[in-house]
Amino acid sequence: MIVDCAHYRDGRRQHEGPMRPEEAAAICGRDPGFVWLGMVDPADEELESMQDIFGLHELAVEDAQSFHLRPKVEQYQEGIAFVVLRTARYLADREEVEFGEISIFLGADFIITVRQGAASDLHSARLRLEERPQLLSEGPPAALWAIVDKVVDDYAPVVEELERDIEEVEQTVFAGGIAPVQRIYLLRREVSDFYRAVHPLLAPVSQLARGGMLDVTPAVAQYFRDVNDHLSLVNDEIVAQRDLLTTILQANMAVIGVQQSDIVRKISGWAAIITVPTFIASFYGMNFEHMPELGWAGSYPLAIALMLLTALALHRGFKRAGWL
């Protein structure tokens, strides 16, 4: 579905409301400025239509139809770049991270965005850029900056929520309790998925910040430098979270091991306490022909006392050793 299509010239939108794609494509290369067309969860037929109208490469369109692609910046054909961004948002009710994707076709006089899944809302990015006519007049690279900046800004709340979840698990483990192993594992998997969404962007954004690709002008490159700083910070925080979760998982397993060892010691101690009196009783129960004790009047009380005293002595010994 097409959500907006506009023609920009000299940093200004040239009309109210969206344009038809055919009209937008006719403007490209004919009139100054550029066209920005935005789509959300389009059908395959819609993307194929954009391929015919704007002359997009079939492999790039095929990638845009896929999901869970690795973030990247590629050039399938001369003059048109293809960019993939992974978006993320935190679902508080489910305590998990949901990922989406934005595919971008970037030409000299047009930019086409394809949002899929839990993608960042690009309407606010468009409005923010429209408030900066001087920057908007730089063309499609300026629009690309607005999109990347929005995606990276949306990473920050996800990092904060993950940090809060990790702190809860950390407090449970290091307070001597046992945190659910499944919860720790799922958190680490989410952080790893988040890392795979963020880390591949570092190199292309760094190149954009240096003006080393996509004909980014110095005026736009300085904005990409700011995005690069934020992205590097997010990446460092994710790496730290992943390492911390590994430590928490190991500590949690150690706590479980200690508690299991404590249980084994208690079972072993009680087993020893029961075993010794049982041995004494079984000894007196043997059918020996010559057992002087059986003829004594106090043999029965002696056997009972021996079993009780032995059990009591063992109990005190294990208690003093911390086994019981």
Is the distance from CB of 108 to CB of 146 less than 8 angstroms? no
How far apart are the C-alpha atoms of 115 and 113, rounded to whole Å?
Answer: 6
Tally of CB atoms within 10 A around 41? 12
Tell me the domain boundaries of the chain.
2-255
* For helices 218-284 and 202-209, angle between their N-to-C axes, nearest 10 degrees: 160
How far apart are the C-alpha atoms of 316 and 8, rounded to whole Å?
Answer: 87
Instruction: Reply yes or no on whether the pLDDT at 199 is more than 70.
Output: yes
Please give the mean pLDDT across all residues of the chain: 85
How far apart are the C-alpha atoms of 295 and 310, rounded to whole Å?
Answer: 23
3-state DSSP assignment of residue 178: coil
* pTM (whole model) above 0.75: yes
Q: What is the DSSP letter of 293?
A: G
How far apart are the C-alpha atoms of 262 and 322, rounded to whole Å?
Answer: 9
pLDDT at 195: 94
State the Rg of the chain over Cα.
35
How far apart are the C-alpha atoms of 309 and 313, rounded to whole Å?
Answer: 6
* Rounded average pLDDT over 51-77: 87
Q: What is the DSSP letter of 27?
A: H
Q: What is the DSSP letter of 138?
A: T
* Rounded average pLDDT over 6-16: 90
* Rounded average pLDDT over 57-66: 89
CATH class, 2-255 region: alpha beta
pLDDT tens digit string along 240-298? 999 998 888 887 776 665 565 666 666 666 776 777 777 766 766 666 666 666 666 66
pLDDT at 290: 60
Tell me how far apart the terminal alpha carbons of the chain are, to the nearest angstrom: 69
3-state DSSP assignment of residue 60: helix
Q: Measured between alpha carbons, how far is residue 247 from residues 131, 164, 198, 270 in Å? A: 46, 16, 22, 35
* Rounded average pLDDT over 60-70: 83
pLDDT tens digit string along 108-167? 899 999 998 876 788 899 999 999 999 999 999 999 999 999 999 999 999 999 999 999
Nearest by Cα to 204 from 218, 217, 221: 221
The pair of three-digit structure tokens given for residue 4, joined into one six-digit string: 């907006």
* Rounded average pLDDT over 209-238: 92
How far apart are the C-alpha atoms of 139 and 309, rounded to whole Å?
Answer: 93
The pair of three-digit structure tokens given for residue 302, joined into one six-digit string: 């002696």
How far apart are the C-alpha atoms of 166 and 187, rounded to whole Å?
Answer: 8
Instruction: Reply yes or no on whether the pLDDT at 77 is more than 90.
Output: no
